Amino acid sequence: MDLIPYSRQSINEEDISLLSKAMTSDFLTQGPKIAEFERALEEYFGVKHAVVCSSGTAALHLAYASAGINSESLGIVPAITFAATANALRYQGGDVQFCDVEPDTGLISIESLQECLDRVPEKQKEQYNLIAPVSFAGAVAPLAQCKQLASENNFILVEDASHSPGAFTPDDQEGTISSCSGTHALASTLSFHPVKHVCAGEGGAVLTNDLHVAQKALRLRSHGINRPFSETDEMPWYYEQESLGWNYRLTDLQATLGLSQLNRLDNFLARRRKLASRYNQILRESPFQEHINCPPFEDGHAWHLYIIRFKDENLRNLAFKYFRSKNILTQVHYIPVYKHPYYQKQNQGFQLPGAEKFFQSCLSIPMYPDLKENEQDRVLKTLEQFLLKG
């Protein structure tokens, strides 16, 4: 049987054709495709500024650094996320405090966030501090509530939107809240890793409506260098390093692929939503409903991941192995970040009940635009066989 991965990129002939043209152009990097990709991102997400970079992790680092995060800073991060959401704070020398998530969704818990903020000393609130809600699996984090708490406590809000481009959610007060819009967060970050909605091979972006953040991110992604003169000035070649930055540049090849993929993002989202709807419909029937919980279905969910949760937590690891024996790959998203050895050194014995409950029962089953209906049927049949065999 052919392998079914838990996720994979969707590359078509147009992507390949455009990449081929880019390979023979004058610029492989630092050329015109970078600005073109940035303008396309600004238009699609309705933000004033987009700064593309080499990875989603680089985007987080640039966003935090451009927002002023430093060695005196504190960052509050939900425990269920990829480690990069927290690591980018450590790159700046800041401290990380983990808050809990809702055990049914994996999204940041507002109650836990409030408790975390209540423990922050008043003197610490005089620093540049950060809340980093994660729009996890494709569902929009409670951004309006996070923004309110951030404002009340003098914190900055940066949304990790790597899972949620194109996602939105209804809101009683505001009608609709969209991920990546710049309405609630100072900045949002994207990833263009192959399993994400837009694939550039690798890459990321900082989306913001704040000119200062955008300008600083532009400098920091290229060694902290500024070019103060234009082509008409006496020294158009002149540049100067103003701060310590990094080589976080995206190549024109990656930007070319990203542009082509962005043009198909609406189609990708529609396909993911169709697959998720079919999963939800079938998995709410017997024998599935006796053993698993499905993720809540929302029209605006971007469905980066489709995560089932086993009612009997002992079944999760067995299911992972059974799927693999049938040539179907699944994954666990995520191990709570505080469990990793690097963070355990600082958080000995630390646990959060919502994060533990979510982690112990969760399994991501295949979800990607090119997943065929017969392959989805095979995933479902394999899950049914596993549950019935006891």
* Residues 129-167: tens digit of each pLDDT: 999 999 999 999 999 999 999 999 999 999 999 999 999
Give residue 308's pLDDT. 98
Per-residue pLDDT, 354: 98
The pLDDT mean for the chain works out to 96
CA dihedral (177, 182, 186, 189) positive or negative: positive
Of the CA atoms within 13 Å of residue 91, those in its CB half-sphere come to 20
pLDDT of 286 above 70? yes
Domains annotated for the chain, with CATH where assigned, are 13-262 (3.40.640.10), 265-388 (3.90.1150.10)
Rounded average pLDDT over 222-240: 82
Q: Quickly state the pLDDT bin for 297 (edges 50, 70, 90).
A: confident
Q: Residue 13 has which token pair?
A: 């002939």
C-beta neighbour count of 87 within 10 angstroms: 18
Which pLDDT value is given to residue 233?
A: 73
Mean pLDDT, residues 252-274: 98
Residues in the chain: 390
Average pLDDT over residues 249-259: 97
Instruction: Give 47's DSSP letter.
Output: -
Sign of the four-CA dihedral 338, 343, 347, 349? positive
- The tens digit of pLDDT for each residue in 96-128 reads 999 999 999 999 999 999 999 999 999 999 999
Separation between Cα atoms, residue 269 and residue 276, nearest integer Å: 10
Q: What are phi and psi of 167, to 5 degrees?
A: -85, 150
Those residues whose C-beta lies under 8 Å from the C-beta of residue 138, and which sit 6 or more positions away, are: 163, 164, 167, 272, 301, 302, 303, 304, 305
Answer whether residue 390 shows pLDDT above 70.
Answer: no
Where does the chain have alpha helices with state H? 13-23, 32-45, 56-66, 84-91, 110-118, 143-152, 211-220, 252-262, 265-283, 315-325, 341-344, 353-361, 373-388
Cis preceding linkage at 342, omega within 30? no
The pLDDT value recorded for residue 345 is 86
Identify the pLDDT of residue 213. Answer: 98
Strand partners, 108: 101
pTM of the model: 0.96
Mean pLDDT of 203-229: 94
What is the model's pLDDT at position 174?
79
Q: Is 238 exposed, middle or buried (0-12, 13-18, 19+ CB in 10 A)?
A: exposed
pLDDT given for residue 28 in this prediction: 86
Cβ neighbours of residue 311 closer than 8 Å, sequence gap 6 or more: 290, 291, 292, 293, 361
Q: In the 8-state DSSP scheme, what is residue 140?
A: P
CA-to-CA dists, residue 176 to 181, 182, 210, 269, 272, angstroms: 11, 13, 22, 18, 20
CB-CB neighbours of 21 under 10 Å: 10
Q: Looking at residue 207, what is its pLDDT?
A: 98
> Which tokens sit at 304?
């980066």
State the Cα–Cα distance between residues 246 and 230, nearest whole angstrom: 23
Cβ-count burial of 119 within 10 angstroms (0-12 exposed, 13-18 middle, 19+ buried)?
A: exposed
Tokens 């903020």, residue?
A: 117
Q: pLDDT, tens digit, for every residue of 43-60?
A: 999 999 999 999 999 999
Q: Is the pLDDT of residue 14 over 70?
A: yes
The helix/strand/coil state of 385 is helix
